[in-house]
């Protein structure tokens, strides 16, 4: 298949919205179904399909894109559709569903995972970006109550929590665990030959130690392992401890992790036009933030299989 088939689902959908998006069906007049109120996540039981089903309402619109080269069908939720119509480009970053077209099912074997790989879903980071939350505090719109006892009971599939890549890797049959699994039982990582991290920006000290001591890490997103949190499993909440200019402005990486500091600024490159994996002592790191384009260049998955 040609690489870089189409550059970025978001730009594609925005363009189509401007010239008139064709949809295969209309929203019903009935109210949208309520989402699952919470997701129970415990070691060895993390179900990414449950996460997808609960994060993305089933009442979606199929967007027909007249380009036969595209490998995926794209579905918009009621939350996203008005954003496209109103051309709010800066907000088109949440709750897009993708599915591999049935005529391309043979690609499942080509781009599937290597034996012994596992993906770690960023539950804590998903919670950190909720509002009010960590970033409400970082914008000086809230006091420290917004970085204290923040619930992580309802993870989501937004841009900041690697939503497209999560769906893509799930479609290609990658094994998943969550960072909750790793924190509760760090030894779980010893079962795997390769760790694939997403945007796991906020982690506990136990998870940091377990991941960084593994001999084969793939950072699919820059900015992973950036700040330290503490977790309370009695009420499924987390509190920021150190990092992201907290508790002192000069503090960047909360673990003083040189690998993350080396690749940190790559998180601002969401185009990924000249992507590559850069090798470090015990792994490889992608040099851009791929959530807007990873479905358009599956060579990224092929490259990951080599490590």
Mapping DSSP onto H, E and C, the string for 6-67 reads CCCHHHHHHHHHHHCCCECCCCCCCCCCCCCCCCCCCCCCCCHHHHHHHHCCCCCEEECCCC
Residues 61 and 191 both lie in one domain: no
Residues 152 and 301 both lie in one domain: yes
Residues 64 and 151 both lie in one domain: no
pLDDT digits (tens, 9 = 90+) for 270-307: 999 999 999 999 999 999 999 989 998 999 999 999 99
Helices 48-55 and 163-171, packing angle to 10 deg = 130
Query: What are the residues whose beta carbons fall under 8 Å from the beta carbon of 209, sequence distance 6 or more?
Result: 186
Do 300 and 6 meet the contact criterion of CB atoms below 8 Å apart?
no
pLDDT value at residue 25: 36
Q: What predicted TM-score, i.e. pTM, was given to this entire model?
A: 0.82
Residue 4 maps to a domain? no
Domain's final residue, options 72, 104, 136: 104
pLDDT value at residue 84: 55
pLDDT value at residue 105: 87
pLDDT value at residue 210: 98
- Angle among Cα 258, 217, 130 to the nearest 5 degrees reads 75
Residues 252 and 171 both lie in one domain: yes
pLDDT value at residue 16: 35
Residues 152 and 269 both lie in one domain: yes
Which residue ranges of the chain lie beneath pLDDT 70?
1-45, 57-68, 77-95
Torsions phi, psi for 76 (to 5 deg): -105, 145
Domain's final residue, options 104, 125, 154: 104
Residues 211 and 257 both lie in one domain: yes
Residues 90 and 237 both lie in one domain: no
Do 264 and 286 meet the contact criterion of CB atoms below 8 Å apart?
no
pLDDT value at residue 54: 82
Residue 1 maps to a domain? no
96-100 and 72-76 strand pairing: antiparallel
- Tokens at 196, concatenated: 């694939």
- 256 torsion bin: left (phi>0), alpha (psi -120 to 50), beta (else): left
Q: How far apart are CA 200 and CA 5, in angstroms?
A: 27
pLDDT value at residue 71: 87
Q: How many domains does the chain have?
A: 2
- In the sheet where 61-63 sits, what is the strand order? 61-63, 72-76, 96-100
Residues 45 and 168 both lie in one domain: no
Range of the domain at 88: 9-27+37-104
Upstream peptide bond of 132 is cis (omega within 30 degrees of 0): yes
Residue 47 maps to a domain? yes
pLDDT value at residue 58: 64
pLDDT value at residue 23: 34
Residues 51 and 196 both lie in one domain: no
Cross-strand bridge partners of residue 232: 237
């Amino acid at each position: 298949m040609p690489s870089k088939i189409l550059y970025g689902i978001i730009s594609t959908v925005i363009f189509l919205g401007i010239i008139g998006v064709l949809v295969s069906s209309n929203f019903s007049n009935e109210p949208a179904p309520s989402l699952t109120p919470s997701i129970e996540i415990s070691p060895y039981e993390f179900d990414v399909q449950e996460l997808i089903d609960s994060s993305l309402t089933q009442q979606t619109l199929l967007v027909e894109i007249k380009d036969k080269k595209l490998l995926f069908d794209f579905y918009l939720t009621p939350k996203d559709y008005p954003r496209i119509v109103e051309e709010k480009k800066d907000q088109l970053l949440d709750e897009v569903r993708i599915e591999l077209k049935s005529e391309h099912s043979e690609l499942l074997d080509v781009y599937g995972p290597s034996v012994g790989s596992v993906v770690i879903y960023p539950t804590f980071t998903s919670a950190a970006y909720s509002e009010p939350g960590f970033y409400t505090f970082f914008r000086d719109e809230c006091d420290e109550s917004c970085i204290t006892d923040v619930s992580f009971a309802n993870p989501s599939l937004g841009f900041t929590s690697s939503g497209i890549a999560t769906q893509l890797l799930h479609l290609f049959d990658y094994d998943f665990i969550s960072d909750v699994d790793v924190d509760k039982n760090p030894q779980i990582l010893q079962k795997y030959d390769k760790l694939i991290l997403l945007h796991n920006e906020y982690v506990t000290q136990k998870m940091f130690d377990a991941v960084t001591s593994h001999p084969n890490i793939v950072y699919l997103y820059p900015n992973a392992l950036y700040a330290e949190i503490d977790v309370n499993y009695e009420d499924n909440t987390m509190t920021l401890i150190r990092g992201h200019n907290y508790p002192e402005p000069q503090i960047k990486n909360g673990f003083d992790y040189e690998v993350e500091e080396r690749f940190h600024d790559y998180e601002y490159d969401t185009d990924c036009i000249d992507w590559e994996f850069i090798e470090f002592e015990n792994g490889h790191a992608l040099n851009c933030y791929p959530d807007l384009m990873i479905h358009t260049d599956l060579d990224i998955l092929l490259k990951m299989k080599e490590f």
